[in-house]
């Protein structure tokens, strides 16, 4: 009896020690995660400081073949937003894949990885097509055309009403397809290869759709600035997207995605106005548009406004920027109106 009395307190005292060890291990993992995130943030800051210093502190966003901080930020914002949308779709697909459905997360991830490779292949194909066009069409016309394409892509990305339908249609379509595949996995005679291909296709379409938009958007920047600013901007956007992906899929944190989308949407709105003004000026140089200078405004607007924000004292450029602003704000308020909600209910 005395032996049990001596052993029992020891057995009871083991549990708090184990819980303390588990708590310390969890604390170390959390500390390591935040250290990695802090290092990533410092890397981003160092990259921006280095880029600004290398450009003399006053980079010219219109000069060709130079490392432009303005273009780098524009590209990184767009890549980050598209990456954020990919993460949201993938998170919606894999959210209920727990327990017996957890093995099906692997083909989804594999499909997303294949989509990244397909995006790179699309980039190479787009370069070949555009370079071939420059041999038969004047370079100014090709540059104006690809710039116009980039503006149209950005308008679609900025279309708030489109994204209302997108989240109710595109994500729900993926969720319905996922439920159908999971149900077929429980039925007899279901072919495992077909299931893996189905889940892989879900991951592929979730990523490639956004990657295709980014490829189209970057063609105008490539013709004007070369490959280096694009590489830096894409890497910066991927780094930010990777941080969000780690928090979402590894740390299982519930991030304020809606606020992040709104914040990046506002930043892209500024990018859109700059691109529209710059594109209108390029179309004037290519003689696609007339040039009607406003004399009194030319004396008021300083040169740096055209350099940094593409605000030029011409009727055509200002009207183009006003029209772009009207479209973006109109789509935003249409998405919030009763008319927009009734259309979404019909979807």
Share of the chain above pLDDT 70, in %: 67
Long-range contacts of residues 329-338, Cβ cutoff 8 Å, at least 24 apart: 331/158, 331/159, 331/160, 331/161, 331/162, 332/160, 332/161, 334/160, 334/161, 335/160, 335/161, 335/163, 335/164
* pLDDT at 225 exceeding the cut of 70: yes
Average confidence (pLDDT) over 175-189: 65
Structure-token pair, residue 8: 């029992």
Lowest mean pLDDT among 50-59, 204-213, 310-319: 50-59
* pLDDT at 189 exceeding the cut of 50: no
pLDDT of 292: 93
Structure-token pair, residue 154: 């950005």
pLDDT of 62: 38
pLDDT of 255: 78
pLDDT of 272: 87
Selection from 147-151, 217-221, 238-242 with the highest mean pLDDT: 238-242
Res. 263 pLDDT band, cuts 50 70 90: confident
* pLDDT at 340 exceeding the cut of 70: no
Q: What is the pLDDT of residues 303-312, one digit of tens each?
A: 778 877 788 9
CA atoms of 23 and 17, how far apart (whole Å): 10
* pLDDT at 207 exceeding the cut of 60: yes
Lowest mean pLDDT among 123-137, 138-152, 173-187, 303-317: 173-187
Domain limits, the chain: 59-268
CA atoms of 73 and 119, how far apart (whole Å): 21
CA atoms of 83 and 103, how far apart (whole Å): 24
């Amino acid at each position: 009896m005395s032996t049990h009395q001596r052993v029992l307190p020891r057995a009871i005292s083991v549990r708090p020690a184990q819980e303390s060890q588990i708590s310390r291990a969890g604390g170390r993992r959390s500390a390591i995660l935040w250290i990695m995130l802090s290092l990533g943030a410092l890397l981003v800051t160092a990259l921006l400081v280095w880029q600004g210093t290398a450009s003399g502190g006053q980079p010219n966003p219109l000069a060709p073949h130079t490392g432009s901080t303005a273009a780098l930020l524009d590209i990184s914002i767009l890549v980050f937003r598209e990456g954020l949308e990919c993460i949201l779709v993938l998170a919606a697909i894999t959210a209920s894949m727990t327990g017996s459905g957890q093995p099906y997360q692997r083909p989804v991830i594999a499909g997303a990885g294949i989509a990244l490779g397909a995006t790179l292949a699309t980039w190479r194909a787009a370069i070949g097509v555009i370079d071939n066009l420059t041999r038969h069409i004047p370079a100014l016309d090709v540059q104006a055309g690809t710039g116009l394409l980039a503006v149209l892509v950005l308008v679609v990305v900025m279309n708030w009403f489109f994204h209302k339908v997108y989240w109710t249609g595109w994500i729900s379509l993926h969720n319905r397809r996922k439920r159908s595949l999971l149900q077929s996995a429980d039925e007899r005679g279901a072919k495992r290869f077909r299931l893996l291909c189905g889940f892989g296709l879900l991951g592929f379409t979730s990523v490639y759709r956004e990657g295709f938009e980014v490829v189209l958007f970057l063609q105008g920047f490539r013709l004007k600035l070369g490959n280096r600013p694009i590489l830096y901007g894409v890497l910066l956007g991927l780094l930010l997207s990777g941080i969000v992906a780690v928090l979402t899929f590894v740390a299982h944190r519930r991030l304020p995605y809606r606020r992040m989308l709104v914040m990046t949407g506002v930043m892209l709105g500024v990018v859109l106005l700059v691109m529209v003004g710059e594109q209108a000026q390029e179309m004037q140089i290519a003689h696609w548009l007339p040039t009607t200078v406003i004399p009194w405004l030319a004396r008021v607007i300083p040169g740096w406004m055209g350099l940094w924000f593409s605000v030029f004292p011409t009727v055509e450029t200002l009207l183009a920027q006003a029209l772009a602003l009207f479209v973006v704000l109109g789509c935003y308020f249409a998405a919030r109106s009763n008319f927009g909600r009734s259309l979404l209910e019909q979807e």
